[in-house]
Amino acid sequence: MEAEEGRMLEALLEHLRNTRGFDFTGYKRPSIARRVTKRVEALNLRGFGDYVDYLDVHPEEFAALFNTMLINVSSFFRDAPAWECLRTDILPKLLAAKTAGPIRVWSAGCAGGQEVYSLAIAFAELLGTEAFCQRVKLFATDVDEDAISQARQGSYSLEDLEPVSADLREKYFERAAARYVFRHELRRPIIFGRLDLIADAPISHLDLLACRNTLIYFNLEAQRQILDRFHFALNETGFVILGQAEMLLMHANLFTPVNLKQRIFMRTPKVNLADRPTFAQGGDAEAETSTAQGVRLRALAMDAVSVGQVVVDANDTIVLANELMRARFGLSARDVGRPLRDVELCYRPVELRPLIERALAERRPAGVTNVERSSPNGQTRYYDVLVTTLRDDGGQPLGAAITFTDVTRYAQLREEVERSHSELETAYEELQSTNEELQTTNEELQSTVEELETTNEELQSSNEEMETMNAELQSTNEEMQTTNDQLRARTDELNRANTFLESIVASMEAGVVVLDANLAVELWNRKAEDLWGLRADEVRGKPFLTLDIGLPVEELKTPLRECLAGSSDRHRLVLDGRNRRGKAIRCAVACVPLAGTDKRVHGAILMMEPGD
């Protein structure tokens, strides 16, 4: 059943991507499933499959679904220690390193805009409002159009501004009725727009990137893609600040911790390649010797590197291969000078040509991770393969350096953790995913709490009304209790009266039959049973004129109608009949109206006395 639900969830995500352009395939499945289930349960549907059909019939449901899936929970100066570190340490360093020129800042996943306005206040406090407007350019993006629209307005309640001190609130916000609006002139440097961190190109040349509690919603592969884009977007000395549940321990090649506790990192700079070696012209023996020694030193240094490395020139010819590559990948001295395509390494364990072409086209390193290779002794090893283009001072490509970093030990550790914790991808993912799930749940709960606070106020007002009504009901209940006691006493009296009347009717020597307004039998005493041979439970509720007894009941139709009409008080007649034993008898029948206290006729009473 779980596998079927998982398949239907994937079908739903594919449906959203094809019909609405929202790609949620990179989001964590437990979080997505939990939030979609919330909508499914709200609509009383049976599962994700029914929900897909519901979306086809009710397109307006997409808005409610996206509002549920894209949780826009944020606040001003969220996680105060992190903002204190940013104000006192990071921003002064950034401004000191960049004394002139524009300062570019990106708030990715800005939700309702609280974060980008917090950044604006922090920069304005350090630079002054005039310099802030002239130098700082803030970009605020989110995948949710409604959130962007809300952030663009910059309007917040007093409760939203609770983390903002009174003096900052007075300085940067203007009162508008019951709301506070960020000052218009300070909003000009802020550019709002929709941006999908996975599908869209990042904003570039950044000095500071804030992406707080956004990565926690993405799976590991999507996080890796986003972080690669963040690395590309930042300047060489750019900073990135993440949420408290987000870490970059597995991405040390991209970012270096500045303050790990507050989740502030700096872009890891590129490693400068050594200059291309130059060779002396013939005739200078000393220069040739020095050059030969330099080349030898480079070769020895390359052999001493703990990762396998191959260098190819612009003609795709192998120029160098260090000792580790020769030992593990079967290269030899004879392979130096051969085209890369002629050696097995070009195709196994991974196709190198596409990586080289991508690195040349994108002008940045390209690689793959966890490439599996089986060694001749049967042992499986894993490598991270990275292709880095080598360029001269003019930017022209001279070749490419291909490194094979042995990550077998890490892969083995990861496999051990996966065997112990089958539900997690890696030990890192176990620690971080749990924290991210808690953070995600907390934000969902925070969103729910905000809804419940409004509902609670309504309920409190209703409760006050109910308390007033309860007092009134209690008073009414006391009155009803008194009335109930009186009714109980009257009921007892009525029961005694009924018992008394039933005893009288049962003891009468004449057969007594009581009929209602429709001439159906209501009462049939014992004498009537003895006289005609029918029990009371056999005739009760049946029309009297249809009973098969030893009496010509049709002759009683007229007297009974007159009694019911109130045109006569009493009829007496004698009829010939046969009793239950078949004996012929003469039966005197008296018919009188059954009148109530309101003088209205409700039926008739028949008294039958048999004679000789």
254 neighbors 231 (Cβ within 8 angstroms):
yes
Domain coordinates of the chain in residue numbers? 2-69, 80-267, 291-429, 503-611
pLDDT on residue 297: 60
Mean pLDDT of 254-270: 86
CATH topology of domain 2-69: Chemotaxis Receptor Methyltransferase Cher; domain 1 (1.10.155)
Q: Which residues contact 563 (CB under 8 A, 6 or more apart)?
A: 571, 591, 592, 593, 601, 604
Q: Identify the CA nearest to 172 among candidates 163, 183, 161.
A: 183
Mean pLDDT of 242-262: 80
Please check whether the domain covering 291-429 is classified as CATH 3.30.450.20.
yes
Q: How confident is the model at residue 409 (pLDDT cuts 50, 70, 90)?
A: confident
Q: How would you list the strands of the sheet with 397-406, edge to edge? A: 318-321, 308-313, 397-406, 380-391, 366-374
User: Strand, helix or coil at 502?
Assistant: helix
Task: Considering only residues 77 and 397, tell me which one the structure prediction assigns the higher pLDDT.
Answer: 77
- Name which CATH class applies to 80-267: alpha beta
> Cα–Cα distance between 124 and 118 in angstroms, integer?
10
> Cα–Cα distance between 102 and 449 in angstroms, integer?
41
Equal CATH topology for 80-267 and 503-611: no
- Element (H or E) spanning 401, and its range? strand 397-406
CB atoms within 10 A of CB 516: 16
CB atoms within 10 A of CB 259: 17
Q: How would you list the strands of the sheet with 584-595, edge to edge? A: 521-524, 511-516, 601-611, 584-595, 571-578
> Cα–Cα distance between 251 and 268 in angstroms, integer?
10
- Long-range contacts: 459-462, Cβ < 8 Å, 24+? none
Which pTM does this prediction carry? 0.50
Summarised one tens digit per residue, pLDDT across range 491-536 is 888 888 778 777 777 777 788 998 888 889 988 888 888 888 888 8
Tokens of 239: 């900073």
Does residue 313 surpass a pLDDT of 50? yes
Does residue 472 surpass a pLDDT of 60? yes
Summarised one tens digit per residue, pLDDT across range 86-127 is 999 999 999 998 888 899 999 998 988 999 999 999 999 999
pLDDT on residue 64: 81
pLDDT on residue 291: 43
Put residue 599 in one of left, alpha, beta given phi > 0 → left and psi -120 to 50 → alpha: left
Write the CATH number of the domain with boundaries 503-611: 3.30.450.20
> Cα–Cα distance between 610 and 587 in angstroms, integer?
4
